[in-house]
Structure formats: structure tokens, C-alpha cells
């Protein structure tokens, strides 16, 4: 499912073009620059550091203050695909987003979606992605926890940013 979400949000909805600036990760995937939104005091400054020319495509799954800062840094005619807002899930009072007028001023397209919207396209997804995985052009990460007794801590880790990649709980190796 996470692969379908990434594929649909990025390739089917955002439709990147050569030379555009996209939200990035560097350590595991070799991209130019990255930051942890939970550790930055000034998200706007962090985005300007990583994207001095602005952002063309943003894959939204954080929400709140991060989305607010992203809207300030989007380029004209930028695209935002939204599949979640993890920073908002456990708040009793969700954070407001104050920079929404940038959607109008910069003519930004923002579209929400669920992975299930693209389940009918699953065969197409597999045609595109499986060869790329075999050629190691797509690398995926799994955070594996051993034992059912560790499942509750692994679940809590999803909401605190402890895991990297798909969280998997191995109940038994037999």
C-alpha cells in the first residue's frame, strides 16, 4: 500500500517534469539536502535553505506548521498531493494553516487522495514498479520488529517518527 500511495501521489497526480524541485531525502537515497521537520525551529528557513528557488512538487503527509511553511515556499503553478497529515492525528485541537492564500496567489494545485483510490490501477503500478525494484532503481525500506509482544511499541513508534520505512512486525519466523 505505501508503494501505491507514493506512486499514485507522485507520478499520477503530481506528474513531475525534468528540472523541478521536489521534497527530498539525502542519507539513504542520495538526494541533495533534507531536514527533520520535528527538529527545525524555523521551518520556513529550513525550506529556503533546501529550496532557494522554491518547491514545484510537495508530497504532503505531515500537515500543520509544515504545510504552512511549504505554502510560503511553493513556486508558481506548484503541485501538492496530500495523502495524510501525521502531525495532526493525535491533537485534541488541530493546528490551523494560515498561508492558504498562496494557493490562489501562486495558482497551486492541491489534491487529496487515498491509496484505495488507485487500487483499480494496481496492475499498472506493478508493471512500472516491479522492474524498477528488480533493477534496484527503486529501493524500499522496512523497519522490522520481532515478536507480537513488541507490536504495541512499534505502533506507537509510527506516531513519534521512530521508524523509517514500512513498519513490519514479524510474529513468527516459522
Nearest to 83 by CA among 104, 110, 56, 102: 110
How crowded is residue 38: how many other Cβ atoms within 10 Å of its Cβ? 10
What is the separation, in whole angstroms, between the first and last Cα of the chain?
Answer: 25
Q: How far apart are CA 114 and CA 84, in angstroms?
A: 8
70 near 51, Cβ under 8 Å?
no
**Would you put residue 102 in left (φ > 0), alpha (ψ -120 to 50) or beta?**
alpha
Q: The pTM is what?
A: 0.79
Higher pLDDT among residues 65 and 19, named by residue = 65
Of 9-13, 22-26, 56-60, 121-125, the range with the lowest mean pLDDT is 22-26
pLDDT of residue 135: 94
Give residue-wise pLDDT tens across range 127-154. 988 998 899 887 778 889 999 999 999 9
Q: How many residues are recorded in the chain? A: 174
Higher local confidence (pLDDT), 82 or 31: 82
Are 33 and 25 in contact, with CB atoms under 8 Å apart? no
* Tens-digit pLDDT profile for residues 44-85: 999 999 899 999 999 898 899 999 999 999 999 999 999 989
Mean pLDDT of 13-33: 67
Lookup: cell for 69: 511553511
Residue 56 CA to residue 73 CA, distance in Å, equals 9
Q: How many CB atoms lie within 10 A of CB 141?
A: 10
Amino acid at each position: 500500500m505505501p508503494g501505491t500511495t507514493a506512486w499514485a501521489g507522485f507520478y499520477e497526480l503530481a506528474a513531475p517534469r525534468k528540472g523541478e524541485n521536489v521534497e527530498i531525502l539525502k542519507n539513504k537515497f542520495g538526494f541533495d539536502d533534507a531536514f527533520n521537520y520535528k527538529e527545525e525551529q524555523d521551518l520556513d528557513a529550513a525550506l529556503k535553505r533546501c529550496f532557494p528557488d522554491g518547491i514545484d512538487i510537495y508530497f504532503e503527509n505531515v500537515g500543520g506548521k509544515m504545510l504552512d511553511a511549504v505554502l510560503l515556499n511553493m513556486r508558481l503553478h506548484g503541485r501538492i498531493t496530500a495523502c495524510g497529515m501525521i502531525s495532526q492525528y493525535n491533537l485534541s485541537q488541530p493546528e490551523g494553516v494560515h498561508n492558504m492564500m498562496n494557493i490562489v496567489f501562486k495558482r497551486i494545485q492541491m489534491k487529496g487522495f487515498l491509496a484505495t483510490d488507485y487500487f483499480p490501477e494496481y496492475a499498472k503500478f506493478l508493471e512500472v514498479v516491479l522492474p524498477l525494484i528488480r533493477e534496484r532503481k527503486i529501493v524500499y525500506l522496512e523497519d522490522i520488529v520481532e515478536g507480537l509482544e513488541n507490536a504495541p511499541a512499534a505502533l506507537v513508534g509510527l506516531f513519534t517518527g521512530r521508524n523509517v520505512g514500512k513498519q513490519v512486525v514479524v510474529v513468527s519466523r516459522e
